[in-house]
Amino acid sequence: MDIQQIACKAQAAAIRMAALPGEVKNRALTEIMQALEAGQQAIVAANQQDLTRSEKEGLAAPLLKRLRFDAGKIKEACAGLLSLIQLPDPVGVTLSATELDQGLELYKVSRPIGVIGVIFESRPDALVQISSLCLKSGNAVLLKGGSEAAHTNRILADLITAAAAKAGLPEGWLGLLETRADVNEMLAMDQYIDLVIPRGSNEFVRHIMDNTHIPVLGHADGICHVYIDRAADPRMAVKVCVDSKCQYVAVCNAAETILVHEGCAADMLPDLQKALEAKGVEIRGCDVTRRIIDVGPAVEADWSTEYLDMIVSIRVVPDLEAAVDHVNHYGSGHTDVIVTADRAQAVRFMDAVDSADVFWNASSRFSDGYRFGLGAEVGISTSKIHARGPVGMEGLLIYQWRLMGDGHIVADYSGDKARPFTHRKLQKTFKR
C-alpha cells in the first residue's frame, strides 16, 4: 500500500472508530495488553536486531538506552494500557445542553478529531502509548517512529493491529509509515489527515510546521527562562535554577536563560555561579553579570539558543517589565518561571508572559503531562489554539453539535411574527 491508500483507509476507519462503544475500545486495549505479554519474546528479539544494528552504526549510549524495549518496558507499557482501560470513555460526553425552544434541544458532545499523524522519536514505548491513546479516544492514527527502531516498531504495530482486529476495530485504523519520504507524502494529505503531532528534534518539527497545511500540535524550540525577582528567597532561587537547568538538560522544559533583577544581582550571582558550576554548567553572562561574577560573555545569539546542554545564559534586568519583555521576545512560549516571595509580582508576571506554562517558585521541569496529572502525554504544544502546554488525551478530542427537534423550521423564527428562542441551559446529557 502507498501512503495515500494508508491515509484514505485511515479516514474510512476513523469514521467507524468515532461510533465505537467504549466496551469495544476497552476490549481492544485488553487484547493488545495480552498480545504484548504473549509476544514478549518476539518483541525483544526484534528489538535486539535494532539494538545490534544501531550499536554497529555508533548510536550514542543515551539513545541506545531509549531504544531498548525489554521485559521491563513491556510490563510498563501494559500498566499504561491498564490505566487507560480504567478511564471512562472520553467520546460522547455531553459538554453542554441548551434548549433553543420547546422540543428543540442542542447538545455539544465530545468526539474524536479523526485521523492523527504522529511522528515520534526512537523510543518504541511511544508507539504503544500513542496508538492506545488514539484508540481510546476513537481516532485513527498514522505512526512514524525512529528509523533505528524499525524492527521493533513493525512487530509492535503488527501485534497491536491483529489484537485490535480481534475486538472488532475497523481495518486500517493504525497505519505505520517507515521512511522520511513517507512523512513528506503524509504532510501533503490534508484531505485525509486532521492533525499532525511531531515529536523530535527542533529542526525536524520546524520542517514539518513549515511544510504542511494540516494543523500541527507541538513545539519546535523550548527556550525556557527563570526570572529571579528582587523579592526572591535567594536559596529557593538557586535551588529552582539548578533544577530547571540541570535536572535533565537534553529536554525542552530545561531552562536556557536566567534573568536576575538588578536589585539582587550582586547578592544572587555569586551563589548561583557556585551552585551551577558545581554541577558542571558553563555560564555565559551579559555585561552587568560579568561585572559581578567571572564568567564568559553571552552574545545576542545566546538569548535565542536552546542549548539542550550544560550551558546557561544569565542577564541582569532592571525590573519585572524588562524580564517579561525579554521572555516574550526571545522565549518560545513554552515554560517560564518567576521566583519571588511576592505573590502580586508573580501574578503580574503570569498575566504578561505569553507562554503556555508559567510557574511561580517551581522548576520549569514540572512542565510535563505525567507531572501535571494528565495521564499519558501526546506532546507539549506551543501553539496558541486548540491545546497548549502538556497535552493529554483531551488534545485528541473535539466536539459535534447535535440538535434534536420535532420538525422545527427556521421560517417560524424569522420575520415579523418570529417565535423567540428560549436559550435555556439544560442539566441533561445526550441520550442515545
Q: Using CB under 8 A, which residues numbered 327 to 356 contact a second copy? A: 328, 344, 346-348, 350-352, 354-356
Residue 97's φ and ψ, nearest 5 degrees, are -140, 135
User: Other C-beta atoms within 10 Å of 399: how many?
Assistant: 14
Residue 257 CA neighbour count, 13 Å, CB half: 31
- Part in contact with a second copy (CB under 8 A); list of ranges 55-63, 82-90, 176-184, 383-391: 383-391
Q: Which is nearer to a second copy, 55 or 321 (CB)?
A: 321
280 lies in the site for a second copy, by CB under 8 A:
no
Q: Which is nearer to a second copy, 18 or 311 (CB)?
A: 18
94 lies in the site for a second copy, by CB under 8 A:
no
How many Å apart are CA 64 and CA 59, to the nearest integer?
A: 6
- Part in contact with a second copy (CB under 8 A); list of ranges 8-16, 60-68, 178-186, 261-269: 8-16
CA distances, 141 to each of 8, 83, 114, 148 (Å): 12, 20, 8, 21
399 lies in the site for a second copy, by CB under 8 A:
yes
Single residue of 65, 180, 423, 428 touching a second copy by CB under 8 A? 423
Single residue of 72, 88, 280, 407 touching a second copy by CB under 8 A? 407
Single residue of 70, 210, 287, 309 touching a second copy by CB under 8 A? 210
Three cell numbers written together for 39:
509476544
Helix (H, G, I), strand (E, B) or coil at 375: coil
Q: Which is nearer to a second copy, 100 or 266 (CB)?
A: 100
Residues 226-245 that bind a second copy (CB under 8 A): 233, 236, 239-240, 242-243
146 lies in the site for a second copy, by CB under 8 A:
no
Minimum distance from residue 73 beta carbon to a second copy (Å): 18
Q: Which is nearer to a second copy, 39 or 390 (CB)?
A: 390
CA 109, distance to chain mean position in Å, is 24
Are 160 and 141 in contact, with CB atoms under 8 Å apart? no
Residues 28-87 that bind a second copy (CB under 8 A): none
Q: Which is nearer to a second copy, 283 or 327 (CB)?
A: 327
416 lies in the site for a second copy, by CB under 8 A:
no
Single residue of 64, 78, 100, 308 touching a second copy by CB under 8 A? 100
- Part in contact with a second copy (CB under 8 A); list of ranges 40-48, 96-104, 151-159, 273-281: 96-104
Helix segments in 115-261, DSSP class H: 125-136, 150-166, 180-187, 202-210, 234-246
Minimum distance from residue 46 beta carbon to a second copy (Å): 30
14 lies in the site for a second copy, by CB under 8 A:
yes
CA distances, 208 to each of 115, 195, 203, 204, 224 (Å): 17, 12, 9, 6, 22
Contacts of 197 (CB under 8 A, 6+ apart): 116, 117, 118, 119, 216, 217, 218, 378, 379
How many Å apart are CA 406 and CA 316, to the nearest integer?
A: 67
- Part in contact with a second copy (CB under 8 A); list of ranges 13-21, 41-49, 288-296, 298-306: 13-21
126 lies in the site for a second copy, by CB under 8 A:
no
Minimum distance from residue 317 beta carbon to a second copy (Å): 17
Are 267 and 230 in contact, with CB atoms under 8 Å apart? no
User: Other C-beta atoms within 10 Å of 86: how many?
Assistant: 9
Minimum distance from residue 103 beta carbon to a second copy (Å): 9
4 lies in the site for a second copy, by CB under 8 A:
no
User: Other C-beta atoms within 10 Å of 401: how many?
Assistant: 10
Are 320 and 262 in contact, with CB atoms under 8 Å apart? no
23 lies in the site for a second copy, by CB under 8 A:
no
Residues 178-207 that bind a second copy (CB under 8 A): 194-195
Structural element, H or E, at residue 80: helix 71-86
Single residue of 98, 184, 202, 304 touching a second copy by CB under 8 A? 98
Residues 356-375 that bind a second copy (CB under 8 A): 356-363, 365-367, 371-373
Q: Which is nearer to a second copy, 52 or 422 (CB)?
A: 422
Single residue of 41, 410, 416, 420 touching a second copy by CB under 8 A? 410
Are 410 and 100 in contact, with CB atoms under 8 Å apart? no
Contacts of 180 (CB under 8 A, 6+ apart): none
Structural element, H or E, at residue 34: helix 22-38
Minimum distance from residue 34 beta carbon to a second copy (Å): 28
Single residue of 258, 388, 392, 393 touching a second copy by CB under 8 A? 388
